Structure 1
């Protein structure tokens, strides 16, 4: 990976399992992360929730960019992201799967580029493509009526 593709995020433990994350971007506030009880107090999202949100956001942005480029319409997409956590063969808790559902408004599914983009967008999402190398992931695109418009293979 080239140097231009690198960034550093700084994390600092505050109290208990609360970790403050600094993203190194002026306009982005710090984020407090925490574990759920009994370890922490769930004062913020835990790493599994952050991983799930990162994959979902990346897929949403990738689809919107492919369909509309720089100017997607407001409020045209919702995402439901489910993280499945289970014990592995060593009885350790692991993220064992992600299920991402992108629900698009009519303006998305009727856009001229949608038909082509629905089969391409997953390949351009940096985060989900990287996660998929180690975690099974199912991606589904639906319209607001619940009709499946695309499903990953």
Structure 2
């Protein structure tokens, strides 16, 4: 990886608050604000941020587990956030991310080690945490809480 990797994303206003987001080779996405501002024709920036945090954490967890040649199974993530007023403006105060592994903990002998390091692999979450509290929990396929 380069010393300072760079990226760019291009946005074009289509109408109202609806934008086309161009990720280049990765395709495009339509975003929009919910009513009454927009028409809710796509996710808004707050939801995109939440999806980015959850996706990065899930990928980082899979990477940490796969480093030990183990299979996390079908990983799923759920993220929720809380909006609060700060100086009379809406801000994202915190996010809760729940990661669910597709396999039981006993089938992952190095899971404990993976859990101690995976969050540090997540570029997005570690960047966002500088301004937003992000809480993470991990459950195995049986629902057993492995990290809280």
Structure 1 residues 109-138: Cα deviation after superposition (integer angstroms, max 9, x where no partner): 622331201111001100000001100110
The count of residues paired between Structure 1 and Structure 2 equals 147
> In structure 2, what is the equivalent of residue 21 of structure 1?
21
> Residue 92 in 1 paired to residue 86 in 2?
no
Aligned residue among 34, 37, 52 for 2:35: 37
Aligned residue among 41, 48, 52 for 1:54: 52
Q: Flag the 1:64–1:127 CA change in 2: closer, same or farther, 3 A.
A: same
* Stretches (4+) displaced over 4 A: 71-75
- The answer on whether the counterparts of 2:72 and 2:108 sit within 8 Å (CA) in structure 1 is no
Find the residue that maps to 1:118 and give its secondary structure. helix
Q: Flag the 1:147–1:74 CA change in 2: closer, same or farther, 3 A.
A: closer
- The answer on whether the counterparts of 1:119 and 1:150 sit within 8 Å (CA) in structure 2 is no
- Listed as ranges, the matches of 1:133-144 within 5 Å are 133-144=130-141
* Runs (5+) with no aligned partner, structure 1: none
> In structure 1, what is the equivalent of residue 64 of structure 2?
66
Cα RMSD, aligned residues only: 2.1
Find the residue that maps to 1:144 and give its secondary structure. coil
> In structure 2, what is the equivalent of residue 11 of structure 1?
11
- The answer on whether the counterparts of 2:104 and 2:142 sit within 8 Å (CA) in structure 1 is no
Q: Could you state the TM-score of these two structures normalised by the residue count of structure 1?
A: 0.87
Q: CA deviation at 1:146?
A: 2.7
Q: Could you state the TM-score of these two structures normalised by the residue count of structure 2?
A: 0.90
- The answer on whether the counterparts of 2:74 and 2:102 sit within 8 Å (CA) in structure 1 is yes
Find the residue that maps to 2:16 and give its secondary structure. coil
* Runs (5+) with no aligned partner, structure 2: none
Structure 1 residues 66-125: Cα deviation after superposition (integer angstroms, max 9, x where no partner): 1014x875852111100111111x110000100000011225662233120111100110
After alignment, is 130-139 or 109-118 more displaced?
109-118
